[in-house]
């Protein structure tokens, strides 16, 4: 037995373990930055192929996205400012917050009107009292908010740093993509070199393509749904359209959720049966275009999972981590299944197992 060699490997294992423990807090940063870099990679590659150095390509892509975000948010800022001013007025006032001030907020005011309208239409529902209780809870929360902000400043700073760090880490992942890849492949022995290349290639193609495709699909469905709903006269079409676009990530049930949201919105506003049918038809048309044109072109292959498995996965995701996990659980399970499948197939073919 070669004691020196064994000793070295033990030392290496200890160092790796220590590093894992030391860096465990930043794994979620790395994963988020990794996803971020996957989405931006084609744009960076495109610019690099135009003889622009890679780091400048990354900067150009970053600046373009920052410009786009600034442009989009600038269109929403007037509305947001009104509501933010109301909030600041409430927070800046040391007097006890009362429900009347809250009801000056346009959203809550329209919600109250809607609840009263619904109670009038459906006897015995008694949503008005429940809404009043909800306002009471909001009032309590508002009163405690400044103290909450001070008490949880570290959490808030953590969240801000998380959002700020992702583009920064993503910058280096994008700039040094090939160097990182070479370093990773360099770690593998000759026996596993080809296998590592296949696995990494599959991860690149599956995860990268899927993430970019999903992002494009969310954007296209959001735009189509918003346009279709505004054409048929549903109010808040952008909000419902974006929600439908995001919900579309969940196969089978996501599109249904988007359609149901549009119809329920018309129902809550006291719209006619015809208005509800128009809203449903508009969402159906969006799904028709999405399923037959956008999805086959953008995503290419569907997530081939049984509807029951999708339902169970969405439920499990919801129990595990709320709405966010409901959205990501199905793609995550699909990606893990694909990777395990590739790993098993290739380990067999390379006669390793």
List residues near other proteins by CB under 8 A: 45, 48-49, 51, 178, 182, 185-186, 190, 193-194, 197-198, 201, 205, 346, 349-351
Element (H, E) at 120: helix 106-121
CB of 352 to other proteins, least distance (A): 11
CB of 178 to other proteins, least distance (A): 4
Based on CB atoms, which residue is closest to other proteins, 184 or 336? Answer: 184
Q: Where are the beta strands (DSSP E) in 104-249?
A: none
Burial of 273 (0-12, 13-18, 19+ CB in 10 A): exposed
CB of 185 to other proteins, least distance (A): 5
Whose tokens are 């009043």? That residue is 132
CB of 39 to other proteins, least distance (A): 17
The angle that helices 127-151 and 153-175 make with each other, rounded to 10 degrees, is: 80
Based on CB atoms, which residue is closest to other proteins, 54 or 139? Answer: 54
Based on CB atoms, which residue is closest to other proteins, 153 or 193? Answer: 193
109, 96 Cβ separation under 8 angstroms: no
Work out the number of other CB atoms within 10 angstroms of the CB of residue 286: 29
* Among 307, 301, 119, 142, residue whose Cα is nearest residue 210: 301
Based on CB atoms, which residue is closest to other proteins, 306 or 351? Answer: 351
Based on CB atoms, which residue is closest to other proteins, 201 or 321? Answer: 201
Whose tokens are 């001013």? That residue is 85
CB of 8 to other proteins, least distance (A): 19
CB of 181 to other proteins, least distance (A): 8
* CA pair distance 203, 165, nearest whole angstrom: 24
Structure tokens at 237: 């079409």
CB of 136 to other proteins, least distance (A): 60
DSSP codes of every residue in 234-254: -SSHHHHHHHHHHHTTSTTHH
Based on CB atoms, which residue is closest to other proteins, 138 or 195? Answer: 195
Based on CB atoms, which residue is closest to other proteins, 52 or 87? Answer: 52
């Amino acid at each position: 037995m070669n004691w020196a060699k064994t000793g070295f490997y033990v030392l290496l294992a200890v160092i790796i373990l220590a590093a894992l423990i030391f860096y465990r807090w930043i794994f979620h940063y790395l994963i988020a930055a990794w996803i971020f870099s996957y989405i931006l990679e084609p744009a960076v590659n495109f610019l690099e192929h135009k003889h622009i150095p890679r780091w400048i390509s990354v900067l150009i892509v970053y600046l373009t996205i920052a410009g786009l975000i600034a442009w989009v948010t600038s269109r929403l800022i007037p509305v947001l400012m009104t509501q933010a001013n109301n909030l600041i007025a409430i927070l800046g006032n040391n007097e006890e917050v009362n429900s009347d001030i809250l009801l000056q907020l346009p959203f809550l005011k329209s919600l109250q009107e809607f609840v009263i309208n619904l109670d009038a239409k459906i006897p015995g529902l008694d949503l008005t009292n429940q809404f009043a209780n909800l306002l009471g809870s909001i009032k309590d929360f508002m009163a405690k908010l400044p103290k909450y902000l001070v008490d949880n400043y570290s959490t808030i700073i953590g969240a801000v740093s998380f959002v700020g760090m992702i583009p920064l880490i993503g910058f280096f992942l994008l700039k040094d993509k090939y160097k990182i890849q070479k370093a990773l492949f360099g770690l593998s022995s000759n026996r596993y070199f080809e296998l590592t290349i296949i696995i990494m290639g599959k991860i690149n193609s599956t995860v990268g393509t899927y993430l970019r495709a999903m992002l494009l699909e969310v954007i296209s469905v959001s735009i189509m749904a918003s346009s279709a709903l505004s054409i048929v006269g549903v109010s808040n079409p952008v909000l419902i359209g974006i929600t439908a676009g995001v919900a579309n990530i969940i196969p089978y049930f996501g599109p249904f959720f988007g359609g149901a949201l549009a119809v329920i919105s018309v129902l809550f506003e006291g719209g006619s049966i015809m208005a509800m049918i128009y809203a449903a038809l508009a969402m159906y048309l969006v799904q028709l275009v999405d399923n037959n044109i956008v999805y086959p072109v953008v995503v290419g292959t569907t997530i081939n999972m049984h509807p029951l498995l999708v339902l169970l996965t969405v439920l499990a995701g919801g129990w595990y981590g709320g709405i966010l996990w409901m959205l990501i659980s199905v793609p995550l399970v699909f990606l893990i299944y694909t990777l395990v499948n590739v790993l098993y197939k290739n380990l067999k073919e390379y006669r390793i197992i």
